[in-house]
Each structure stands twice: as C-alpha cells, then as structure tokens.
Amino acid sequence: MAKSYRLSWQRTCLREKDVDTTNSMTPTSSNITIPGFRPVPRTGVIYVMTEAQKAGYTAKSNQWANIGQGAPEIGPLPGGSERLTNIALEQDDFEYAPVGGMPELRQAIAELYNSRYRKGKKSQYSAENVAIASGGRAGVTRVISSIGRTNIGHFLPDYTAYEELLDAFGSFVPIPILLKEGEEHLFGPNELDNEILGRGLSAILLSNPCNPTGKVISNNTLSQWVNIARERNCTLILDEFYSHYIYDTPELSISAASCVEDVDSDPIVIVDGLTKNWRYPGFRVSWTLGPKEIIEAITSAGSFLDGGCARPMQKAALPLVTQEIADQEAKAIKQSFSSKRDFLHENLNKLGIKVDPKPAGGFYCWGDISQLSNELNNGMNFYRKGLDVGVITVPGAFFDINPGHRRPDRKSRFHHYVRFSFGPAMEELERGVLSLKKLIKK
C-alpha cells in the first residue's frame, strides 16, 4: 500500500510541473494523509473556479467577469424557446428511474435524431439505441469504462475532463493525436486513416465542435470520417455537446448521426445532452446514441457507476427534446452567440491575444498569448494575475491531455494559450474585456 501511494504522489508532483513550472499551485488534492486514498485532480475548469472563489468570486458579483466558464447563458434568447421554470412532481417520481433511462425519453430522443438527421434513411434509431445518464461526464464515463484492452486515440488540445477519464480504468492505452498549430487545427480523412492503421486504434474520442479551439468537422468531412471508421472497424466516440453552436454556415446543427448508414452496425457513438445545446446545465441530463449492443454495455456500466439519472429531471427533459424546440434553440443560439463571438474575437486580437482562426463552433476563443509581456505570456500566470482584476480565464495547459502522464514534458505545449469563453451574457463579456485591458496595460 505504501509503495502504491508513493507512486500516486509522484504522479501528482509531475502534474504540478506539467501545469506550471513557476508556482506551487496545483489542481490536485496532494495533501491527503488518510491511508488508502490517492490525490485526485480536479478538471481544469473546476480548478480555476475553486481558486477564483477563494479570491472572492461570486456568481452574482458585478465586480467579476467569468469568461472562463464552460456553460452558456441560461436566460431567454430572442427567438428562443420558452424557458422551463417549474417541474411538477407525482408520487411515482420519487422512485428510481431505469438505469438506461425512462423508455419514453429514450424514444423521444431517437425520434428527434431521426427527424433532424435521418429523414429518408432506411435505418432509424429506436429507444434501444439511446441511454440516459446524469450529465455529460457520466455519459462519457459509461462509454469509456466499457472499452476493452485496446488503443484509443484522442486529440490535443481537447476537453480537460478527458484526461482523468482516459486514465481512470487502466484497461486500454490512450494515444495522443496532435492537431497542428498554424493550420487551423485541421485534421483530414487521410490523416485519420493513417492514425488508425499506424497506431492500431480501435476507438477515437473527440469533441465536435471542439472544446477549446472551436474547430468544426463539417458534414462533408464528417461523412468521410464515418466511412473510414466503418471500413477500418474503429469506433468514433463523438462528444456533440456544442452541436447547436455552428456559425457561418446555413446548418442549424451538426451530428455524425446524419452520416451513419446502419444505426446498429456502424461504429459511431454520440454523447449529447441538455447542458449546452438546450442551455439547461443544472439539469444534468445527457444521452448516448449508438448501436444497441453498445447501449446495452454502457447501461450495464451505469448500474455500478452512477445508478442512472433522476426521474424528475428526465420528466422535465421530455417536452424539451422535440425538433421544434431544438431548432428554435439552435436558431436563437446562432444569432445571439455569433455577435458575442465577433465581439470577443475582435477585442482579444486588439489586445495582442491572437485568435486565428475565428472559432467556427462552440463558444470559446483559443487565444495565443505568446506576444504578451513575460509576466503574462504563460497561461497559469495570466489566469492568476487576471484574478487580481476580477476576470476568470482557463489556462491552455489544462487542455494538453496527458493520461497517466506518460509523456515526459515538464512544460505543456499549450502553456502560451488561454481559453476565453463567450458563453456569458454580453454584459459580462464587456466587463471581462475591460478587465483584460486593465490587466494587459498594467
């Protein structure tokens, strides 16, 4: 036991060096002394919010601007659907829900995907192709826990929570795939094919649109990716939580579901939920869409991992997952978030923070701060000094996913990047830009 704990502690020290070589702050609980427990890292966004709260941040304070948040504004948007304000409960709602989700919600989600993405296609999703979980992390965790002894690819940079998920079960080998800087983080079908064959990948995990770069795999390219996955027998696990946040194109949303030929044989697994695309982050309702045998496996995983999503929240979700409401939200998001994207993108570039290209999806700007002063051109320094002027950001190092810390880098390849969010309302964005101006002039 002592040896096992020592190895965990050493791994924590490596992470501290990976994240920041100039300060002892670290996103881990490294002071655990109780026998049998290991230091457990916080995800990047949770870490920055915890430290911001220690510095005096509160969500209702107009002295702060949270442009690091990973959630969209939750209020009404022009042209958007009417916001749900009450949940009526009946006696049965205090019972457990099925681990795989309420049948009526599973069926409604299957019908939503069929009507939005699969009109005229012979193969259609059914309730058996859907599983409900209590939030996106729970949904992805179920999927990851069901993967066998194989190689699974993941992209750099990508969503911070993937790091611990890819390291938690130890039943497979995570293989990093680096997106090239200066090429709009492009990664084409031929490169995908080469990675699958060259590294022997049986699965690939990615977000589309990408968190944090805003890169979008368009419908044409996505179709080629799905074809390659089918031909090479490699499962694509797609986090589509930002699929309503698509700019500069006529589409209201994007999903690999539109490219699937056979819903029960094509190796395509999709995770989405109410958090981002419906702007109900507090509901913690997500779903996984895929072949029936995968849904059966992840439902079994849910029986010991999380026990399922709360019945009242599933009932509340049921009237929201219609094509009418989904399309309303997607239209409203495109209109409101496009203007916020343009505002933040323009002002960051004026401040010497390079955001190139402009994000095509999601609600983040992936900012290069390498041209700022020495005090500010490191993501962790930038974040900490931002707290002094009441602005919250997320250091780019947290998106350098390194499961098990197998790569020996002591300094993240993304230490000169920061993720800026245009998820908050415009008023808070404007306050954040003023704080950034103050910080950089200082």
79 confidence band (pLDDT: 50, 70, 90) = very high
Tokens (6 digits) for 179: 């997106």
Give the phi and the psi of residue 247 in degrees, each rounded to 5: -115, 160
Confidence at residue 185, expressed as pLDDT on a 0 to 100 scale: 57
Cα 375 from Cα 381, distance rounded (Å):
7
- Looking at the chain, the whole-number percentage of residues with pLDDT higher than 90 is 79
Q: Where are the domains of the chain?
A: 42-71+369-441, 91-325
pLDDT of 59 > 60? The answer is yes
Assess whether pLDDT exceeds 80 at residue 427. Answer: yes
pLDDT at 12: 35
- In the predicted structure, residue 163 carries a pLDDT above the cut 90: no
Q: Taking all residues of the chain, what is their mean pLDDT, rounded to a whole number?
A: 90
Given pLDDT bands bounded at 50, 70 and 90, which one contains residue 407? confident
Question: Residue 169's pLDDT is what?
Answer: 87
Q: List the beta bridge partners of residue 130.
A: 289
Share of the chain above pLDDT 70, in %: 90
β-partners of residue 178 are 156
> pTM of the predicted model, to two decimals?
0.91
**57, 64 Cβ separation under 8 angstroms:** yes
As a whole number, mean pLDDT of residues 138-148 equals 96
Averaged pLDDT, 218-234? 95
Question: How sure is the predictor about 402, in pLDDT bands with cuts at 50, 70 and 90?
Answer: confident
Q: Which residue in this structure is represented by tokens 């002039």?
A: 441
Phi first, then psi: what are they for 290, rounded to 5°? 180, -175
Name the one residue in this structure whose structure tokens are 């799905």.
Answer: 226
Architecture of domain 91-325: 3-Layer(aba) Sandwich (3.40)
Q: For 159-173, 202-216, 377-391, which range has the lowest pLDDT when averaged over its residues?
A: 159-173
DSSP 111-161: HHHHHHH-TT-SS---GGGEEEESSHHHHHHHHHHT--SSEEEEEES--TT
State residue 16's pLDDT score.
37
Per-residue confidence (pLDDT) for residue 27, from 0 to 100: 55
Q: Cβ(209)–Cβ(216) under 8 Å?
A: yes
Cβ atoms of 217 and 179 within 8 Å: the answer is: no
Distance CA 77, CA 56 (A): 29
